[in-house]
């Protein structure tokens, strides 16, 4: 979906939709379906960064009232040293937020209270890469600017947008998908799966 286009439509929640209150909970259902080679579930998002990016995530009352919005969103797929996995909102590769390299592949602009990838949108068919390794003082300044998204542009924070990325690290680095630690890796191959998941907010 191109930025500025209509990303959803008013719709009633289907009777078979599953209700989830976080990206991690939604990811569990998506991964289980993919590993079982079953159709992806239809999800009602009552919380999480994807819901926030789409203007929802303020609880279940609107969904229960049936005044809700249906959208098809992208998924991120990643090969972690040859093993495939999926994420809805973001992939984070880091040892620490305070020192060393931090890599985020975002399908959502928000990560909690941080507007970490200001141009990201879960329905645009593109993933956003933020690759950062600033010095200590600049890191603290950037951290303070994350809620507003004003940490970029910065010479030590590289950003790009694409349908796929190849990422390498000097040593195995912990990988988190939607906040869940899934292992460590030196090589990642990430791609966007556009218009993959039906959600209601």
pLDDT tens for 52-78 read 888 875 555 555 655 688 999 999 999
User: Do the domain assignments include residue 4?
Assistant: no
Number of domains in the chain: 2
Preceding peptide of 153 cis, ω within 30°: yes
94 and 48 in a common domain: no
Q: What residues pair up with 111 in beta bridges, in sequence order? A: 114
pLDDT at 4: 37
90 and 66 in a common domain: no
- pLDDT tens-digit profile of 10-68? 778 888 999 999 999 999 999 999 999 999 999 999 999 999 888 875 555 555 655 68
User: Do the domain assignments include residue 21?
Assistant: yes
**By residue range, what is the domain housing residue 95?**
78-194
- The answer to whether 11 and 200 are in contact (CB under 8 A) is yes
Tokens of 184: 């460590």
- The answer to whether 101 and 174 are in contact (CB under 8 A) is no
Residues 6+ apart with CB under 8 A from 32: none
Residue 180 and residue 170: Cα distance in Å, rounded?
Answer: 22
């Amino acid at each position: 979906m191109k930025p500025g286009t209509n990303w959803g439509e008013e719709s009633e929640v289907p009777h078979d939709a599953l209700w989830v209150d976080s990206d991690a909970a939604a990811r569990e259902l998506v991964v289980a379906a993919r590993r079982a080679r079953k159709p992806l579930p239809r999800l009602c998002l009552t919380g999480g960064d994807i819901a926030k990016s789409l203007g929802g995530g303020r609880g279940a009352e609107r969904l229960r009232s049936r005044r809700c919005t249906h959208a098809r969103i992208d998924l991120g797929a990643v090969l972690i040293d040859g093993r495939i996995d999926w994420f809805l909102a973001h992939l984070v590769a880091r040892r620490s937020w305070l020192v060393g390299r931090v890599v985020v592949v975002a399908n959502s602009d928000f990560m909690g209270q941080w507007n970490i990838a200001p141009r990201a949108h879960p329905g645009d068919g593109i993933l956003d890469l933020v690759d950062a390794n600033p010095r200590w003082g600049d890191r603290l300044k950037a951290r303070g600017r994350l809620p507003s998204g004003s940490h970029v542009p910065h010479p030590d924070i590289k950003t790009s947008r694409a349908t796929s990325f190849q990422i390498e690290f000097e040593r195995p680095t912990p990988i988190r998908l939607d906040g869940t630690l899934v292992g460590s890796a030196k090589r990642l191959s990430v791609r966007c799966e556009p218009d993959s998941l039906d959600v209601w907010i």
